[in-house]
Structure 1
């Protein structure tokens, strides 16, 4: 199963090299490590969209069994090279979150899909991912992922909010705004306001990626068929968001979701 436009970009040598040098966790990822610290040592973990191994560095030493997959063979090659000294204790393989047929039902205690990897497939395929994760994850296990927040892009769509007292900042912001409008000619304020989710070409990798953006309440609806006890965390500070009013006004560009598998 191949999403040609996005997968081709992720397979490019310069993009693979970029992800192979990343090493820092996001605040919400550190929050989850802290939250599950007493359970991780006994957990079998699936790290989806592992890329160049950013999350591998942090998770494989502390979980019971670690398996990392990516749908780009070039990423897996880079990741294996990065962790060649630990090849006997890390399992890294090419795999697609939309069809995890190489794994048995009820196999994983903890499944991670980080860096918004789920946002680079179609809407229908996104729902297949949730179904597959429900299948391979153990009941009572955890699924943790991040996704782009449609509410966050609304701020970027208003050119006046790109103005700054610093003329250089204003110039850069307005250039990016102009490029954003150029690459999304059909996107209107009305469409942005009324849509539960949209496919948008944002600035990621020079506007080459087609990225899925979704409103938090819509994301919760998608998850409820397969998951329970859905918790939401801020990208910027890693704190949980428990108030619906706060959630509706949340403008972080990314949001993290922690779900319990049914």
Structure 2
């Protein structure tokens, strides 16, 4: 029988770990070509307007978003990461807030709400819907949601413990270093994989599974493009364009993709005027 797993508890512990605090504090640019392309696409619609940065972490996206608007709010629910973001950007409006409940933010206000780095996948399916609903609420009519999500049809889904093995290189010094690094993380990786993979489950349009990142220390949602499109439409959002993580080319919303993850840009529709 498949064991129920509390994604929130597992992932919060990982985000707050010493290793995560150290590694995220070093990041300051795009995660991949698709993220940069998606941001450039949406930025022209939001320049100078209010923007919301969800899951700001240690501050990777603060400078990127403030480059298009100084009317900026960033939120995160991990105090340790938020402390590092505040230290890097002491003049930025950064708030401790859970994306599932952003009731302290006004409705119909932001031109853009962005949740990057697949952060929305760190909670279960129902909570993802709550987050998207909150993003829709705080965005003004005609405004945009930009978020990324792990691809159920991508190579990241179903990664096994072999992911932690050293990659071969003919250079003996480099191979030795990689082997030492693997031996250092392998015990905790095996422990995490065996403990978390018992909660893996596949629902067709989406799946919940252990991810290789953080030495298999996270449980995440993997979405198909079709299911994410359906979910957005059910919330009254129009999917405008999709980018994959591997390049800067748009992906048809009606096709499959083998990208590691996908960047979605959806729009809050403007209510039609009464006749």
TM range (shorter): 0.7 to 0.9
User: What residue number does 2:272 align with?
Assistant: none
The two structures have a TM-score, normalised by structure 1, of: 0.81
Matches within 5 A, 1:91-170: 91-152=93-154, 153=156, 156=159
Distance 1:9 1:204 in 2: 10
Question: What is the Cα deviation at residue 243 of structure 1?
Answer: 6.6
Distance of 2:120 and 2:40 partners within structure 1: 24
Give the Cα separation in 2 of the matches to 1:51 and 1:237.
Answer: 24
Once residues 78 and 154 of structure 1 are traced to their aligned partners in structure 2, the CA distance between those partners, rounded to angstroms, is 31
The secondary structure found in structure 1 opposite 2:149 is strand
Residues 5-62 of structure 1 show CA distances to partners (whole Å, capped at 9, x for unaligned) of 2112111222112111111213223213432444433221100000111111211132
Instruction: Quote how far apart the aligned CAs of 1:239 are.
Output: 1.3
> 1:201 touches 1:210 (CA, 8 Å); kept in 2?
yes
SS at match of 2:234: coil
1:230 is displaced (CA, Å) by 3.3
What TM-score does the superposition give when structure 2 sets the normalisation length? 0.78
Greater mean deviation of Cα atoms: 62-71 or 113-122: 62-71
Instruction: Give me the CA root mean square deviation.
Output: 2.8
Summarize the Cα distance change of 1:181–1:76 in structure 2 as closer, same or farther, 3 Å threshold. Answer: closer
| Runs (5+) with no aligned partner, structure 1 | none
* Residues matched between the structures, number: 240
- Partner residue in 2 for 1:253: 260
Instruction: Kindly state the Cα deviation for residue 231 of structure 1 after the two structures are TM-superposed.
Output: 1.5
Q: Which runs of 5+ in 2 are unaligned?
A: 1-6, 270-275
The answer to whether structure 1 residue 54 and structure 2 residue 35 are counterparts is no
- In 2, the alpha carbon distance for the partners of 1:123 and 1:243 equals 20
Q: Which residue of 1 aligns with 2:3?
A: none
> What residue in structure 2 maps to residue 217 of structure 1?
226
